[in-house]
Structures are given as structure tokens and as C-alpha cells.
Amino acid sequence: MQDLSQVSGARQQRALWLSTFAFTTCFAVWMIFSIIGIQIKKDLGLNDTQFGLLIATPVLSGSLLRIFLGVWADQFGGRKVLTGVMLAGAVATWLLTHAQTYPQFLLAALGVGIAGSSFSVGVAYVSKWFPAEKQGTALGVFGAGNIGSAVTKLLAPMVMVAAGWTMVAKVWAVGLAVAAILYFLFSQEDPSLEQRRKSGVKPMPFREQMAPLKNLQVWRFALYYFFVFGGFVALALWLPRYLIGAYGMDVKTAGVLAACYSIPASLFRVVGGWMSDRLGARKVMYWTFSVSVVCCFLLAYPDTQYVVKGIQGDISFHLAIGLVPFTMLVFVLGFFMSLGKAAVYKHIPVYYPQYVGSVGGVVGMIGGLGGFILPIAFGALNDLTGIWTSCFMLLFVVVGSALAWMHFAIRRMERSKFPQLDRETDLPEIINAQAGR
């Protein structure tokens, strides 16, 4: 375990806030297709399935790269790796403006996705600066960089209406490049890298880094993140299109209301990290999944016209979720997703302190793949069923499955390994404390 006793609080805060700034910028670029994709859809005459693939493609590359970049961050230092990721993402976003055909846009979107891989690098870097009892809060603050999605939804529509979608791509590319330079100039190498250099210890081999992936527990954490993060990314990308189609909004208004989802789903991740440190990550996950099941069920109910055969004739009534209730439910869903995102990553440094890069990279990759698969599924469900709320029907199935697996896995673990503990004991925090670790 690395010694952080000589690391000043000022250096810790500097590393945390610079990383959060970098991740916010990367996330704003990663979500760029949620806005410019609407205009590209019109220009190319795409159906909803093709549109879903377009907006999800950056999420695919950003997710697949997370595991490798997380390991490299552990091996070579997050500062260098994150700077390289940002510069590569900036170049790819600028080159996006030269695409003209649908295949070219998909290829360009793969390049833009590089920016999304910054998360696993940042997690590996930030976790090195803080002791275990503070990592939940620190990673919650870092993860709040998801608010970059709201930045894009609020500002990109104005730029696109005024100067076209290509100007959005150019401005976002320049902004990411400038952020990369500032980050590199003012950040420092993490303490563990400094210690390794002084002691001459070589980085952990890649095969050894991958050893924890044999544990089913890692993949259970990944399913949690598939919903809380993958679902967040999918809705962040899909909501502008949903609001335009289901409620007849223009792109500016849809962007603002979609930001009402993205902001709480980002900022309250800080609260989720703090709650995970204080109350336990498991309790936070139970709250997240339980409330999300209810929200997704209500949001999934389609706009329906009922006709009842009455005594004196037909009685008809209309049942639908209006715009105000929809916005409130989405806000609540985003809030609890943000708590869950922090709680999932609180588990990883506790269970796998020497493998944060690899385990965090895999969990982040699966979560990111949720952000790739779900928008495509949303579009396909729209085309197949013709029901706008079908996207929330799918999310209801996903979160219900995650809640069931979590509950039964925890009950089984408690009965087999810790029969002496009360059913309400929160793992792993209490167990580690009782074991004196």
C-alpha cells in the first residue's frame, strides 16, 4: 500500500480538481453527437436505428479503450496518459468536420470516442492521491465531470443554430486541446509513480493486472455500472431526440430540458461518493436501484387512450405523462444514477487496491458499452414498436436485473462467509474495519 503521509492536502486537491476539469472537457466532447447528430440525421435522412448507431459510436471506442488506458495509467502515470488522450481526442474532433457520408461519420465518431476513455485514466490517477477512507468522496468529485454532458447540451445548440454543426466540432476540438495543455502544465505525477522511480520497482505486468477479472464479482460491479453509467450516457445522448419527437420541442428547448437530467446525474455524484464513505456503498446501491426501478416503470408507461364500456355508453379517458412530471421523474432518475455511479467506484479501491486501473477499466468499459448498446437499442425499439417510451421499458428490465443479482449475491455472500454478521451490516467497509485492515 502506498504511503500518502508525505503528500500535502494542497497537492491532493490540485490533482483532484485539475483531473475533474480535464474529465469535464473530455466528456463535453464525448457527448457532442447528442446535439450535432440531430442535424446530421436530417442532412443524411437517417432512421432512428441509424441515428442511434451514430450517437453511440463514440461511446464504443471510448469504452473499449478504457481497460488498456487504465492499465497504462497504473504503469506509466495518469498525467502523461490523460494528456495524450485529450490531444488525440481534439485532433479526431477537428477531423470530424471533413466527414460527408454516413460511413465517414461513423469512422470519425470512433475517433471522437477517444475522449471518453479519459475516465479510467482519471480514476487510476486520482485514487493514487487519497487514502481508502477518502477515495469515495474524491472519485465522486472527479466523476462529477460528467457535467460536461450538460455543458454540451446547453451551449452546442446555440453554436449550431448560429454557425452550423461544423463550428461546434471545431470549437469543442480547440477547447479540448487547450485543456490538455493546461492540465499537463499544472498537474504532477502521482505519488505511487514517484515512489516506484525512487525504489526502482518495475510496473506490474499486464497479465498480472488482469488477474482479478477472473472474479465474477468484478462483472457484477460491471453490470451495476452498465445501468448507472451506461444508462446515463444513453439517456444523455437520446433525450434531445426523445423530447423533440415525443413532445414536439425545438433543439434549443430540448437541449435545456435534457440538461435538467444531465446536471443532477453529474453533480450529485459528489454526494454519492460522500454517502458511500459515510454510510456504505451497498446501502447507496440499494437506494439507487430501488428508486430507479420505480422511475423507469412510471416513465415506461406509454401514452394511452382507454375506452371503458359503461352502462350508459362508452367512457373514454387518456393516461399519459405530461412534460412537467416527465422532467421531474427524469431529474430523480438522474439524481439516483449519480449516487450509484459513485457507489460502484467506491467498491473498487476497497476490494482491489492494487488493481484499480485494470478493474476500474473493465467496469468502466462495460458501463461505457451500455452507453453504446442502449442508444442503438432505443432506436431499434422505436422503429420496431413505434412507442416512444420503449427506451424506458428496456431500462426497467436492466435495472430490475441488476437489483435482483445484487440482492441475491449479497445474501449468499453473507450466509457463506460471514454468518455472524447482522443482515444490515454493510460490506465491505464494516468487514474491513472489523478485520483491522
Domain-embedded: residue 169: yes
pLDDT of residue 346: 80
pLDDT of residue 89: 94
pLDDT of residue 245: 86
pLDDT of residue 200: 57
Query: Contact at 8 Å (CB) between 124 and 70?
Result: yes
Cell of 91: 485532433
Domain-embedded: residue 305: yes
Distance, in Å, from the CA atom of 434 to the CA atom of 425, rounded to the nearest integer, reads: 11
Domain-embedded: residue 427: no
Nearest by Cα to 321 from 383, 422, 243, 253: 243
Helix (H) or strand (E) holding 99: none
Distance, in Å, from the CA atom of 310 to the CA atom of 257, rounded to the nearest integer, reads: 40
Query: Contact at 8 Å (CB) between 140 and 130?
Result: no
Domain-embedded: residue 430: no
Domain-embedded: residue 29: yes
Residue type, 31: M
Task: Provide the domain count of the chain.
Answer: 1
Nearest by Cα to 136 from 275, 298, 261, 288: 275
pLDDT of residue 4: 55
Domain-embedded: residue 426: no
Q: Calculate the dihedral angle through the C-alpha atoms of 5, 6, 11, 13, rounding to the nearest 10 degrees.
A: 10
Counting runs of H as helices and runs of E as strands, what totals does the chain give?
Answer: 21, 2
How does pLDDT run along the chain (437 residues), one tens digit per residue? 455 555 567 888 888 999 999 999 999 998 899 889 989 999 999 888 898 889 889 988 888 887 788 778 877 788 889 999 999 999 999 999 999 999 999 999 999 999 988 888 888 888 888 877 777 788 888 888 888 888 898 899 999 989 999 999 999 999 999 999 999 999 888 777 666 666 656 666 666 666 667 777 888 888 999 999 889 888 888 888 888 888 888 888 888 888 777 777 777 878 888 888 888 888 899 999 999 999 999 999 888 888 888 888 788 877 778 888 998 998 899 899 989 988 887 877 777 777 766 787 788 788 888 888 898 899 889 889 888 899 999 999 999 999 999 988 888 876 766 554 444 444 444 444 444 33
Domain-embedded: residue 201: no
pLDDT of residue 111: 93
Whole-Å CA distances, 52 to 3, 26, 47, 216, 394:
46, 21, 9, 31, 15
Phi, psi of 5 (to 5 degrees): -65, -25
pTM for the structure as a whole: 0.71
Domain-embedded: residue 428: no
CATH number at residue 384: 1.20.1250.20
Helix (H) or strand (E) holding 92: helix 78-95
The residue segments making up the domain with residue 394 are: 10-193+206-419
pLDDT of residue 296: 95
Alpha carbons within 13 A on the beta-carbon side of 408 = 6
